[in-house]
Structure 1
Amino acid sequence: MNAFKTTSRLARACATLVLWACTLAAAPAFADDPSDADLSGDWGGARTQLHDAGIDFDIVYFSEFATNLQGGTSTKYAYAAEGSIASTLNLQTLFGWHGASFRVKFTNRNGDGLNQQAELNEIMPSQAIYGRGSVTRLSQFYLQQDLLGGDLRLKLGRLAVGDEFGDFPCEFMLLPFCGSQIGNLVSTAYNNPVSQWAAYGRYAFSPSFYGAVGIYQVNPSWLKNSQGLNFGSPHGTIGALLPYEFGWQPTLNGLPGQYKIGGWYETSSLDDVVLDENGGNRLQTGDPALKRGHEFGFFMSIVQQLTAPAPGSKRGLTAEVYWMLPDAHTATVDQQTSVALVYHGPFAARPDDLVGIGAARIHVNSHLSAGEALYNADLPDGMTPLDVQGSERSYSMFYRLQLLPSLYTTPELQLIHDPSGSSRNQDDVVFALRTVINF
């Protein structure tokens, strides 16, 4: 890899993004009119009437375009999209059922992934919404019951693990900085758009401190496109996922924060990442994997506003930190860390825009790396050595332009160093563009 060429390309792209952002300083923001929150408006008054009757709709369209400026087999262009329609029924308004509601959500994903198209070899891809098949899925289907004045919240039905546990901002397109990482790195936990039968409980011990637990069905059949609209339960349940989380939401020096720590225990039988059933290196022996009777892991996240131009202002600098420790015996990645700084309202004339920069490290399981090194040390004649994987390091910067209350677009520049944790792979430089419309 020509390091000078990579640095030069990245510097030019960064300069272009920064100059483009600076030209927005003088551009006036839209009027802060709540009626503009949805692009389709109030539907001639019908939306307000439905809300008053206890029925709300959310219709959202995501698109993510990406192209590789460097890395991969050749320059490619990829476009992925996600459309969702959801409805929340206030059962108290509709039927007098105090504290109860019901939510249903359908999600369609389609398009292409740049990681696959250009063979970028990224562990955590450049397009966060690509994956889980080009298909429509039932993403949420659950009853919610609030008790004890709202301190206790229960949910029962079809839930996505990442919607309830380890939730994290998703201002970036690059996946290590976007949303809950449990469903990205734990093979039996599924984020949106895939849902599983589950039960969830959360109790607020105080206005700023809560604890949550859940139990989720583990069934890999939910990943099949054919099960996207299955309201029942396909064959193939192999265990249960038991996540937990504690959260603290303080106001420090007048600035809001959110601190979470949690983890999970999973009961299904899973393959060891490198050992065979006899305790040998299965990369060498080719024998069936050793089965582990469970797995567990931990996560931690911090979102803390650091500055504000005035008390109570949402404008200012926010720090975002995510750390995750998957199971060392069963997970391909045994540690992930991401750190980002996001400035809300970088210009007085653009109070709803965002600008951010972040860095992440995705560390390949040390047991797997040791197995790869052992394989290479005793390499049979004529066989190709394996890459001994280490860490994939990702860097990203973006500017989110809020064009309307219901519409924003985000150009983003990404650098992925040692894709797949291998120094043999050329660094990837990716330009990406996200557009989100709330209808």
Structure 2
Amino acid sequence: MACREPITWGVVWTNAPQTDLYSGKSGGAGATDPQGYAEHDSTWFMYAGLNQQITRHADDPLRGMSVSLSGSLSDQRSNYIHSAVAASMRYRGLFDARPEDWIGFGLTWIDMSSHYARNQRYMNQLSGVTAYNDPAYQPVAGHSLNGELYYRFRPVSWLELQPGLQYWHRPGGVAQTQDAWVVEWKTVVTF
């Protein structure tokens, strides 16, 4: 099947000053640099996304399975999130009696900035804190994984209701954070 839907991609570049998440102006750690954290004259962010309907019903081309894949990469010197990748599957009109309903499942991987993690470790080293339960501890972020399952139903043409369930592995990218289940509810009203 030919790709009938657009692939989006882009680069965002800014010349607005951005503060480094670890490095100081003198070359060492910014936390103890007398001149403070380094400033960058520019920073960047790249993204790409693909959304493709891969099956269609003969009687309704809007019904069927769609898949998506997206990703981003950013300058980790000044952005907390270094990279993210997401994939999802959605099926619209799974039941003949409910052609406007959707069911979907998605996964997202998030990797935090190594500059940010290095700064957090350095702050803990400076304060002599090693225990996560210590109020002075600076959580060190790494990666996180999120999964989501939802069902969107349309009881009337102007209302969509979407209950869902998410599972977070390492919320916030912190290994010591307990995994979490999240129940969600989304409402869309179209005027």
Bucket of the pairwise TM-score, normalised by the shorter protein: 0.7 to 0.9
- Correspondence for 1:330 among 49, 61, 78: 78
CA distance in 2, matches of 1:386, 1:272: 17
Judged with a 3 Å threshold, the aligned counterparts in structure 2 of structure 1 residues 283 and 421 are, in CA distance, closer, same or farther, namely farther
Residues 335-364 of structure 1: CA distance to partner in whole angstroms, max 9, x if unpaired?
011111010111111111000000001111
- Structure number with the higher strand fraction is 2
- State the SS of the aligned residue for 1:367: helix
Aligned to 2:169: 417
Judged with a 3 Å threshold, the aligned counterparts in structure 2 of structure 1 residues 382 and 408 are, in CA distance, closer, same or farther, namely closer
- Contact kept, 8 Å, 2:25 with 2:33, in 1: the verdict is no
Following superposition, the deviation at residue 371 of structure 1 comes to: 2.9
- Contact kept, 8 Å, 1:283 with 1:372, in 2: the verdict is no
Matched, 1:391 2:143: yes
Judged with a 3 Å threshold, the aligned counterparts in structure 2 of structure 1 residues 350 and 311 are, in CA distance, closer, same or farther, namely closer
Matched, 1:349 2:97: yes
CA distance in 2, matches of 1:367, 1:309: 49
Matched, 1:438 2:183: no
Q: How many residues align?
A: 186
Following superposition, the deviation at residue 419 of structure 1 comes to: 1.1
Following superposition, the deviation at residue 279 of structure 1 comes to: 1.9
Following superposition, the deviation at residue 396 of structure 1 comes to: 0.5
CA distance in 1, matches of 2:13, 2:129: 43
Residues 313-345 of structure 1: CA distance to partner in whole angstroms, max 9, x if unpaired?
111110011101122221011101111101011
- The gaps in structure 1 that reach 5 residues or longer are 1-251
One-letter code of the match for 1:402? R
- State the SS of the aligned residue for 2:6: strand
One-letter code of the match for 1:325? L
Residues 10-52 of structure 1: CA distance to partner in whole angstroms, max 9, x if unpaired?
xxxxxxxxxxxxxxxxxxxxxxxxxxxxxxxxxxxxxxxxxxx
- The gaps in structure 2 that reach 5 residues or longer are 131-135
- State the SS of the aligned residue for 1:373: helix
Give the TM-score of the pair, scaled to structure 2: 0.88
Following superposition, the deviation at residue 421 of structure 1 comes to: 0.6
- Contact kept, 8 Å, 1:412 with 1:432, in 2: the verdict is yes
Aligned to 2:133: none
CA distance in 2, matches of 1:392, 1:284: 29
- Correspondence for 2:64 among 295, 316, 324: 316
CA distance in 2, matches of 1:307, 1:286: 61
Give the TM-score of the pair, scaled to structure 1: 0.40
Aligned to 2:178: 426
- Contact kept, 8 Å, 1:303 with 1:320, in 2: the verdict is yes
- Structure number with the higher helix fraction is 1
Judged with a 3 Å threshold, the aligned counterparts in structure 2 of structure 1 residues 308 and 272 are, in CA distance, closer, same or farther, namely same
One-letter code of the match for 2:156? L
Residues 176-213 of structure 1: CA distance to partner in whole angstroms, max 9, x if unpaired?
xxxxxxxxxxxxxxxxxxxxxxxxxxxxxxxxxxxxxx
CA distance in 1, matches of 2:123, 2:188: 46
